[in-house]
Structure 1
Amino acid sequence: MSEPTAAQLKDEGNDFFRKQDYVGALAKYTEAIALDDKNAVLYANRAACHHGYRAAATQIDPGYAKGWSRLAASRDALAEWDRSAEAWQKALDALPKTNLSPAEQRQKDQYSAGLDAATTRSKTTESPSVSRFKGEDANLPWKIATEMLPELRKGGPEKYSSSAWVISYAYEEFTKGVAFMNEFKSIPHPQAPGGFAYGGNTMGLTYLTNGLMRDERAFHLDGPDWITKYNNQVKFEATARQAWHSDGVENIKQLAQKRLKEKGWNDVRPALSVTVRAWIMRGMLDGHLRNKPDTGVQFLKRAVDLLEWGRNVWKNVHKDDRGAIFQDTFLRGVRSLHLKMFMNAYSADPGLNSKFPLEHLKEEAEDLLKEIEIASKNPSKEEVDPGMVSSFCIYPAAVAYTMIGFYHAQTARHSDDVLACISFANGASAYLQAAKTYPEDDEFHAFYLSCAMDCMRNAGLPIRDFNLAAVTLRAAVPKMMKIWTVSALQQGGRDEKIQANLRSADEMMKLVAEGKLTLEDPVPL
């Protein structure tokens, strides 16, 4: 009698699965994988068995701690922090209260860490994501990065990939903008409208937005009157440059062209610049500080639409006339900010009927990647600082891969078991690419490796892949901590998430060493 083929074993596994015999199905899918280990569907089907078992375990035995922990890990990967915290708590409640065995104590430590991380992320999601750091804190990333630059310069081009260049230059530009805000003055003047004359520098918005587009993590509030000073600055610049305020994008297009004919580029260029940069700032302030990402998306989308229109209408106009805002790098910076804000808006309004569709997020991310690929084939010959390429080419590409990973992880939430596993596998791949694109010493490199591991667990990918990611992550953490000991992401539970995945990898490899698991087994949920 001939041996069954992988396809036959898969069909047998499907029969068991339909009968909710997850153990039987698991065995058949595992046999099929042994014959065809390149078939992604087999891995997805096997992972679906774990999903079915997980759900059944918590329903049949609410006191089954591992069942709740697996459910919590799944919710972690979907960024369902409140529901994750609830599941971690139930996992803890299911453990004995006293006289814990060594294995149970390890479980308790793992579940407690998971609960702490989920609780922290839940609170962070509900609060503004712009952190107020203490100015004297020597561990701030931009301070450490700036101190590193002399040594990095000595290393030449080989050292240009460090995230230190990105955050230090972002901070430098952002703080120049803040300095101009602080210089703004109102002086009593009997002949001036309202009895006051105003004095200041009209480059404040330029430096603030340049800093944000280089790396928005440089955005921080260093005083209680920051917003008041900013409002004064933007009003001053808008008045001085006769920028557009409440006009819609379509109306501005007509007004700008009419004004160009009447007054020329020296008048229109700064007016458009202030208009667009004010939208960028409004989008960031509303989206992060005021926790209104939906409004943030609106203002950043306005900026993208006006820039794309202007680049097309004035494509033959010299860049010095039309201005920096119509450069490729500027548009990529704004598109990157818009993508991240769109993701935040979806997270605040998730689901199939969200006003911020996941498909749109994915399409925008893929378009940005295509644009960057085209630009990479025709690099600019202009001399730029070491962080310029990272900020406006490498980081936007990493952001795009991140959005694609987020798309797949969230799509899994609305799919059946098999399709969910495939989506998680795709999410793992995209997050790995995002991590690879960021510099090794950037916190996002380590963080998205961890996100990829979350997806691997839910996709039922082999322990081998999970462990390889853990090895890379373990090597990345010390590099990350050199610069990014303190950050908004760190305050939101970054390190707890990373350490939980590293502990999981250690536990799995211990079981592999004991012969209880193999590297080809799926990552346990």
Structure 2
Amino acid sequence: MSKPTAAQLKDEGNDFFRKQDYVGALAKYTEAIALDDNNAILYANRAACQYGLNRYLDAVDDAKMATQIDPGYAKAWSRLAASQDTSRKSAEAWQKALDALPKTYLSPAEQRQKDQYSAGLNAAQTRGKTPKNRCLLVSTSMMAISLGKLRQRCFLNSGKAGLENFSSSAWLISYAYKEFTKGVESINQLKSIPHSQAPGGLSYHGNLMGLTYLTNGLMRDERVFHINHPDWITKYNNQVTFEATTHQAYSGGVETIKELIQKRLKEKGWNDVRPALSVTVRKWIMKGMLESHLGGRPDTGVHFLKRAVDLLEWGRIVWKNVHKDDRGVIFQDNFLRGVRSMHLTMSMNAYSSDPSLNSKFHLEQLKEEAEDLLKEIDIMIASNNLSKEELDPGMVLSFCVYPAAIAHKTIGFYHAQKARYSNGVPACISLMNGVNAYLQAANTYPVDDEFHAFYLSCAMDCMRNAAAVALRAAVPKMMKIWAFSILQRGGRDEKIQAHLRRADEMMKLVAEGKLTLEDPVPF
């Protein structure tokens, strides 16, 4: 039986795409590209699949490839623009999509394309006028000072600490701060030396562990992120360039990288591929954090973390029989768990930036990912799969306890958000489920962590809101029989109405944007 041609695979991919089976379509287009890698339509079609799977960064890469192969292909430009909408950089691509269409005598299909592209351009230009969030150097410097003091206090007390004190959040933040600070020291050590044969006339010398330390610290606890110098970003970018160039790290989408990895492994082996993969994944993690924390764009940052998760999960399957020392630490359980936890947190932030039932960040998917993470942690605990030789006092907290707490608070977030789109009994049930999940989150965190108190507060807010929903529904039923009673004469109705008025006042503040349902409600 003859092998299918690229055209046949494309047709099969189109059939899957029409059925909205984006995974199946993506696989077919990828097979077709392997046979015909200079076909703009195949890359544009795969970009559409990536977009349908919410893999916007990979969609951008494929759409860019399509525009490079055929700069006059309007649909490729439109798919690049649609994919870039999430990063607010799409205006130029929408304009190029319009420019690629005929200027006159448009067919009905071309006119529909023109209307769509014009609407996309107008929306992109409107978004471009929205002021960006800025990160204040003062606040991050203060964070560095407070974390440094906490680290000192932790180690001063370590001599008299028993194993029971290893559950303190001080251990977690101390080790996280230590690793992140090592990363900052590494980027400060990078030196440039004039060299006539080097790209740009400069060669760099420094520590190739900078990205490793930075990302290790953030995976332990991303609250250690801070900037302590005005040119921090410039130095960081130079460090990334230095490490990526030295190890020939990958760029492009996950599907493209998968193909390149397999070929490079055959030619050069794990000693060459391992550091390249590590730098690739870690720079995605850092890019996601910078987009969120500095750019105020968690909706963009979350896609970089998702890209990292996708590549790690694929590698763990493909190389499950490869020794851990060969494939590298990034494929270890703790590393993936750390990245998944960060992805969950950033996904909640991304949803909160544009909450709705039609959000690109689906609540059901958030809940499902959180439940999967909890199952994984339960399996790990049951199998006692934590090697005591590899542990420091903060390791279990960073990669077992805190991921579980993040999963519980994600489930609490899910139920609290679902309550916003329900009424009566369903809303009350959602809120009470939120209470339970937030209490589990609070009780999973160490009692001296700020999150312990904060999620107790979230649980109380859900409980209060649930009581208001139930109370409002109960009053008319009560009045049918107990309109007059001793309790009623003692001020029952006045007290009930006071609570309901307070609930109405709070919801008015929410409607006016002065309060969110996640804010603690004053008594």
Q: TM class by shorter-chain length?
A: 0.5 to 0.7
The answer for the alignment partner of 1:165 in structure 2 is: 171
For residues 140 and 400 of structure 2, the distance between their equivalents in structure 1, rounded to whole angstroms, comes to 31
Distance 1:308 1:324, change over 3 A: same
Q: Render the CA deviation track for 1:225-278: whole Å, top value 9, x for unaligned.
A: 111111110011000000002x21011111111111111111000000000000
SS in 1 for 2:203: strand
Question: Are 1:276 and 2:320 counterparts?
Answer: no
Q: Which amino acid aligns with 2:294?
A: L
For residues 191 and 237 of structure 1, the distance between their equivalents in structure 2, rounded to whole angstroms, comes to 19
Distance 1:128 1:160, change over 3 A: farther
Shift of 1:142: 4.1
Q: Render the CA deviation track for 1:132-189: whole Å, top value 9, x for unaligned.
A: 4364789613422332223234222110000000001001000100111011111112
The answer for the alignment partner of 2:327 in structure 1 is: 322
For residues 263 and 417 of structure 1, the distance between their equivalents in structure 2, rounded to whole angstroms, comes to 63
Question: Are 1:180 and 2:168 counterparts?
Answer: no
The answer for the alignment partner of 1:351 in structure 2 is: 356
For residues 142 and 177 of structure 1, the distance between their equivalents in structure 2, rounded to whole angstroms, comes to 15
The answer for the alignment partner of 1:430 in structure 2 is: 437
Q: 1:390 aligns with which of 389, 392, 397?
A: 397
Q: Which amino acid aligns with 1:217?
A: R
For residues 131 and 344 of structure 1, the distance between their equivalents in structure 2, rounded to whole angstroms, comes to 22
The answer for the alignment partner of 1:411 in structure 2 is: 418
The answer for the alignment partner of 1:451 in structure 2 is: 458
Shift of 1:416: 1.6
Q: 1:441 aligns with which of 440, 448, 466?
A: 448
Q: 1:299 aligns with which of 295, 304, 313?
A: 304
For residues 144 and 261 of structure 2, the distance between their equivalents in structure 1, rounded to whole angstroms, comes to 46
Q: 2:340 aligns with which of 335, 339, 347?
A: 335
SS in 2 for 1:290: coil
What does 1:438-517 correspond to in 2, within 5 Å? 438-460=445-467, 501=522, 504=523
The answer for the alignment partner of 1:476 in structure 2 is: none
Q: Which amino acid aligns with 1:398?
A: A
SS in 1 for 2:394: helix
Q: Render the CA deviation track for 1:175-209: whole Å, top value 9, x for unaligned.
A: 10011101111111234332212111111000000
SS in 1 for 2:451: helix
SS in 2 for 1:140: helix
Q: Which amino acid aligns with 1:424?
A: L
What does 1:71-470 correspond to in 2, within 5 Å? 127=133, 132-133=138-139, 135=141, 140-245=146-251, 247-379=252-384, 380-383=386-389, 384-460=391-467
| Mapped contact 2:154–2:174 kept (Cα < 8 A) | no
Shift of 1:224: 1.1
For residues 242 and 419 of structure 2, the distance between their equivalents in structure 1, rounded to whole angstroms, comes to 48
For residues 284 and 422 of structure 1, the distance between their equivalents in structure 2, rounded to whole angstroms, comes to 35
Q: Render the CA deviation track for 1:439-474: whole Å, top value 9, x for unaligned.
A: 0000000000001100000111899xxxxxxxxxxx
Identity among equivalent pairs (%): 68
Shift of 1:128: 5.4
The answer for the alignment partner of 1:78 in structure 2 is: none
For residues 183 and 224 of structure 1, the distance between their equivalents in structure 2, rounded to whole angstroms, comes to 16
Q: Which amino acid aligns with 2:219?
A: M
| Mapped contact 2:291–2:298 kept (Cα < 8 A) | yes
Shift of 1:421: 1.1
For residues 404 and 130 of structure 1, the distance between their equivalents in structure 2, rounded to whole angstroms, comes to 32
Q: Which amino acid aligns with 2:202?
A: F
For residues 431 and 171 of structure 1, the distance between their equivalents in structure 2, rounded to whole angstroms, comes to 27
SS in 1 for 2:460: helix
Q: Render the CA deviation track for 1:396-415: whole Å, top value 9, x for unaligned.
A: 00000010000000100001
Q: Which amino acid aligns with 1:154?
A: K
SS in 2 for 1:164: helix
For residues 137 and 358 of structure 1, the distance between their equivalents in structure 2, rounded to whole angstroms, comes to 32
SS in 2 for 1:460: helix
For residues 175 and 402 of structure 2, the distance between their equivalents in structure 1, rounded to whole angstroms, comes to 14
SS in 1 for 2:167: coil
| Mapped contact 1:349–1:356 kept (Cα < 8 A) | no
Distance 1:288 1:434, change over 3 A: same
For residues 415 and 212 of structure 1, the distance between their equivalents in structure 2, rounded to whole angstroms, comes to 36
Query: Could you tell which deviates more after superposition, 407-416 or 194-203?
Result: 194-203
| Mapped contact 2:144–2:224 kept (Cα < 8 A) | no
| Mapped contact 1:405–1:430 kept (Cα < 8 A) | yes
For residues 464 and 458 of structure 2, the distance between their equivalents in structure 1, rounded to whole angstroms, comes to 10
For residues 392 and 360 of structure 1, the distance between their equivalents in structure 2, rounded to whole angstroms, comes to 22
TM-score by length of 1: 0.63
Distance 1:243 1:134, change over 3 A: closer
SS in 1 for 2:139: coil
* Cα RMSD, aligned residues only: 2.4
For residues 136 and 368 of structure 2, the distance between their equivalents in structure 1, rounded to whole angstroms, comes to 27
| Mapped contact 1:138–1:144 kept (Cα < 8 A) | no
Distance 1:274 1:217, change over 3 A: same
Distance 1:432 1:128, change over 3 A: farther
Distance 1:129 1:449, change over 3 A: farther
SS in 1 for 2:321: coil
Query: Could you tell which deviates more after superposition, 325-334 or 247-256?
Result: 247-256
Shift of 1:377: 1.1
Gaps in structure 2 of 5+ consecutive residues: 1-131, 472-514
Gaps in structure 1 of 5+ consecutive residues: 1-125, 464-492, 505-525
Residue-pair matches, total: 346
For residues 445 and 260 of structure 1, the distance between their equivalents in structure 2, rounded to whole angstroms, comes to 46
Q: Which amino acid aligns with 1:206?
A: T
TM-score by length of 2: 0.63
Q: Which amino acid aligns with 2:366?
A: L
| Mapped contact 1:145–1:167 kept (Cα < 8 A) | yes
What does 1:37-76 correspond to in 2, within 5 Å? none
Q: Which amino acid aligns with 1:152?
A: S
What does 1:8-47 correspond to in 2, within 5 Å? none
| Mapped contact 1:215–1:391 kept (Cα < 8 A) | yes
> Relative contact order: is structure 1 or structure 2 higher (C-alpha 8 Å, sep ≥ 6)?
1
The answer for the alignment partner of 1:466 in structure 2 is: none
